[in-house]
Amino acid sequence: MKRTAKLISVCLALLLVTAALAGVLSACNRDGKNADEFVIGTSAGIEHADRSDYDFDQLSAGLTQQALVARNTDGTYSPLLAEYAVSEDGRDYTFTVREGMCWDDGEPVDAADILFTLEYADAHDSGGWLSSVTDTAGETTPSKLLSADVSEDGGSIVFRYREADVRALSDLTVLRIMPEHVYRGKTIETATPAENRVGCGVYRFESYSADAGTITFVPNEHYPYDGDLAVKRVVVRLFASDGTLQLAMKNGELDTIWKYSGGVEPSFASMLAENGRANIIPVASDNLPAVLAFNTSASPFNDADLRKAVVYALDYSRFASLFASEYAETPHAGFVPPTTLGYTPDTETLSRDLSRSRTHLEAGLARTGLPSLSFTLSVNADNALHLSYARQVKLQLEEAGISVTIKTMNQNDFRASTTNSGGNVSHQACIIGYTANGMKMMGGLGTIYMDGGHAVQGVSQVFDAAFDAILDRLSAAATEEDYRAAAKECQEWYAANFPAVALFWDAQLQVLSPEWTGAHADADFGLINMTTWLTLGRA
């Protein structure tokens, strides 16, 4: 009797276990994709999926939020939330909100929202639109705008700039307009998540699940578009590590990879293309992913010959073949990439020339009295790619008799020792990447990274009267011709002095599953942008 009971209970237990197992197995891998779903994978650390979250805010720029204008990859601008017109003296910009633009809660977008956004940025962000900013070092930067006046009908706004600025629109591509009716009397920090998700883009926020690691978006019915969107739901999958993100893309589970202001690594992109998992879309970009910057105010690189000894000892084609895509170009001595406003192709194309390097090395050593050239190369340890660049630099320079010690630091220490923000620039040379946004700040052409007097950056620690004069001319330029002339001088100064050198120029690579076609590339936001959603279709 007892035996039978035991047997029955064992059988029952087995049955239960089998049933559970079957259930679990059936639950495994049911992740079939819907035909009208578009899946974006990202390893950005999104925490709460609303406007208060830096990474989500960047992502939403391509889905739920809009800036006034967007920048195309050829350097031109397209209206986004507003049409714009420029006055003849180049100081007045009139923005008129496009017909039918609505917040996804149904309220119309008006010019008061634009003014509110400027005021909000001044009060809570780095700002500097209508009020001047004083930084830690006590330096004051005057406001960009003298005034911003909303028209009587509330449909347009006139920005009056302090001086004519040929690059005025570029700042506006990243200023996402905020709904005044939501944030009046509130801040992003005090608003509820639902309020922080109100937008005016093609899509609106639908759901966020921390457990599933997904954020979903559905079409915004208030968006003024008559056609039919090919994508009925956008699913953003969050990954904690690039390793699994890449494997998922390679496995065909994602339609694209999103990374703010960055593309996919060339070696990985070409592997995807070879396996038929993705088409590569190169996006010309103003950023410099790989820069070797010298500290020109400290030994040994306060000597121009020693800088040149390094510059001519580097093998640029080797860097391009190892780390860059097929769209890469050999960098010029003028430093800035060809897409930059004011670029001149006239500076020397860099290449390895060991005898030239030796001549400069001997001249430099003789002048400084140093027995040999050896220096410390600082690298941010968080950036594995930069570490690989540094190892390559070390190898190549050692072939030219220059010895390099790689010094890795955490992000904070790296920033403190390479930029003026720490108050004490102590590096000798460093591997660093310059963002498109940073490259165009102040006078543009990456000058903030060179200028030793810059409050925050100043990586190369240039204190030079000729360079300062060029800076003045850049910021005083009222017309495009003036600006181009000054920009040419600036690049020639770089080519003569080498405060920093680009290891290669490269386009950012975006990848798109071959199941889709018709994506539009935006210079700031890559493939995820408003135009893409309107033009995207099944291949």
Instruction: Map the footprint of other proteins across residues 227-286, applying CB under 8 A.
Output: 235, 238-244, 246-251, 265, 267-268, 271
Q: Which is nearer to other proteins, 78 or 270 (CB)?
A: 270
Task: Check: CB of residue 177 under 8 Å from CB of residue 57.
Answer: no
**Which of 209, 349, 351, 403 forms a contact with other proteins (CB under 8 A)?**
209
Task: Check: CB of residue 284 under 8 Å from CB of residue 73.
Answer: yes
Q: Which is nearer to other proteins, 156 or 380 (CB)?
A: 380
3-class state of residue 1 by DSSP: coil
CA distance 341 to 354: 33
Task: Check: CB of residue 444 under 8 Å from CB of residue 437.
Answer: no
Should residue 351 be labelled a site residue for other proteins when binding is judged by CB under 8 A? no
Should residue 15 be labelled a site residue for other proteins when binding is judged by CB under 8 A? no
Residues 362-391 that bind other proteins (CB under 8 A): 379, 381-382, 384-385, 387-388, 391
Should residue 411 be labelled a site residue for other proteins when binding is judged by CB under 8 A? yes
What values do phi and psi take at 382, rounded to 5? -70, -20
Task: Check: CB of residue 40 under 8 Å from CB of residue 216.
Answer: no
**Which of 348, 353, 362, 398 forms a contact with other proteins (CB under 8 A)?**
398
CB of 142 to other proteins, least distance (A): 16
Should residue 25 be labelled a site residue for other proteins when binding is judged by CB under 8 A? yes
Stretches 103-111, 282-290, 420-428, 488-496: which one binds other proteins (CB under 8 A)?
A: 420-428
Should residue 27 be labelled a site residue for other proteins when binding is judged by CB under 8 A? yes
CB of 392 to other proteins, least distance (A): 5
Q: For 114-172, what is the HEC assignment?
A: HHHHHHHHHHHCCCCCCCCEECCCCCEECCCEEEEEECCCCCEEEEEECCCCCCHHHHH
CB of 30 to other proteins, least distance (A): 7
Should residue 318 be labelled a site residue for other proteins when binding is judged by CB under 8 A? yes
Q: How far is CA 284 from CA 257, 325, 327, 337, 509, in A?
A: 17, 12, 9, 9, 9
Stretches 131-139, 471-479, 485-493, 508-516: which one binds other proteins (CB under 8 A)?
A: 131-139
**Which of 85, 395, 466, 476 forms a contact with other proteins (CB under 8 A)?**
395
CB of 490 to other proteins, least distance (A): 24
**Sheet with 92-97, side-by-side order of all strands:** 82-86, 92-97, 156-161, 145-150
CA distance 534 to 94: 26
Four-point Cα dihedral 133, 135, 138, 141, nearest 10: -40
Q: Which is nearer to other proteins, 107 or 206 (CB)?
A: 206
Number of residues in contact with other proteins under rule CB under 8 A:
76
Should residue 140 be labelled a site residue for other proteins when binding is judged by CB under 8 A? no
Q: Which is nearer to other proteins, 322 or 495 (CB)?
A: 322
Beta-ladder partners of 69: 79
Should residue 206 be labelled a site residue for other proteins when binding is judged by CB under 8 A? no
Residues 444-503 that bind other proteins (CB under 8 A): 456
Task: Check: CB of residue 318 under 8 Å from CB of residue 331.
Answer: no
Other C-beta atoms within 10 Å of 531: how many? 19
CA distance 486 to 481: 9
Should residue 35 be labelled a site residue for other proteins when binding is judged by CB under 8 A? no
What token pair was written down for 181? Answer: 């009716």
CB of 372 to other proteins, least distance (A): 18
CA diameter of the chain: 103
Pattern 47-86, other proteins, x by CB under 8 A: x----x----------------------------------
- Name which of 197, 154, 190, 148 is nearest 172 in CA terms: 148
CB of 267 to other proteins, least distance (A): 6
CB of 57 to other proteins, least distance (A): 12
Residues 160-189 that bind other proteins (CB under 8 A): 189
DSSP 216-257: EEEE-TTS---S--S-SEEEEEE-S-HHHHHHHHHTT--SEE
Q: Classify burial at 538, counting beta carbons within 10 Å of its beta carbon; exposed 0-12, middle 13-18, buried 19 or more.
A: exposed
CB of 403 to other proteins, least distance (A): 12
Other C-beta atoms within 10 Å of 148: how many? 19
- Work out the angle between the directed axes of helices 304-311 and 354-368 (0-180°, nearest 10): 160
- Name which of 122, 126, 146, 123 is nearest 136 in CA terms: 126
Stretches 81-89, 167-175, 208-216, 285-293: which one binds other proteins (CB under 8 A)?
A: 208-216
Q: How far apart are the first and last CA of the chain?
A: 68
CB of 198 to other proteins, least distance (A): 19
Helix (H) or strand (E) holding 269: helix 266-274
Q: Which is nearer to other proteins, 151 or 374 (CB)?
A: 374
Should residue 134 be labelled a site residue for other proteins when binding is judged by CB under 8 A? yes
CB of 243 to other proteins, least distance (A): 5
Q: Which is nearer to other proteins, 234 or 365 (CB)?
A: 234
Q: Which is nearer to other proteins, 5 or 25 (CB)?
A: 25
Should residue 142 be labelled a site residue for other proteins when binding is judged by CB under 8 A? no
What token pair was written down for 389? Answer: 């660049």
Peptide bond just before 300 cis, omega within 30 deg: yes
Should residue 154 be labelled a site residue for other proteins when binding is judged by CB under 8 A? no
Should residue 16 be labelled a site residue for other proteins when binding is judged by CB under 8 A? no
Q: Which is nearer to other proteins, 13 or 240 (CB)?
A: 240
CB of 261 to other proteins, least distance (A): 17
CB of 189 to other proteins, least distance (A): 6
